Structure 1
């Protein structure tokens, strides 16, 4: 019973710990970005994470409301997506430039905005690489539950999975790890041993 509580606790904490370390630039107002635009940005982030990782991402998530994302490569390292076009940091950088210019009233202010834009990612994630990839990657686009003006609640979750044609004996375990995390996997392992 104690093990189950520990695993459940880990399951609640792990997604929080897995979030990216990216923070919005000073002055950026997320509320000025349309929800359809944010969804498009998340699609771009999800599409560009695997190539940034050399072809395969272990964890690839993006929340289309908050723009919080996770891009963890198959070797367990966080991808440095800030350097690449078509990622959340790139889109935010571009939008921050537009917001900055619209609020600027002096040449010095414009120069600061332009200097900020020069920090936007410039690498192409789909450029050819020589890194090999593993057969499975998973991406998840999610939207927090929100209330509409008439009080209805709605939530959107979209998941896309790309797998190669050949399966391996670890595909089931990897799928469980990707969808449920370490806590879910550990719970299944403990349950299997108790049945023996």
Structure 2
């Protein structure tokens, strides 16, 4: 007779396996696996520091089996598949490489291996969000004080959409050659 605990353990294992890209660790060389584990251990602390302080309670990685542990000082386990340079990231990339190799010369299949299975951070949880406090001026207009920006430089709204940055790039495209030619002309004039 199968116990409730065995059934629960089997379901938990099946869920974990279906959530990750599974590779055969024996197919990856030991130096590569050691490098992956080094990346994993190096990533744990900075990921934990996004939400808490102190050293992680657990920060391990076994290169033989590619099992790892990252438990922050507050007891929480970050979702490592949301980050790059972690074991889930490396195994996903390796899975994609194996998938492409299995496709042979079928370009559509090869493309699907990478495009339909992206690795690393796609929509990571934003820890540092823009915060604003406003005060009313005598004219009734709101002015921002103590505003924190985490978008691209030049964004007026700080949301990182790059609208103003694109304008700077267009300016460079339009006038870059003229500025370069003018500088060369001025340099040649100084030589004469």
TM-score, structure 2 as length reference: 0.48
User: Greater Rg, structure 1 or structure 2?
Assistant: 2
TM-score, structure 1 as length reference: 0.47
Higher relative contact order (CA 8 A, sep 6+): 1
Q: Which structure has greater strand proportion?
A: 1
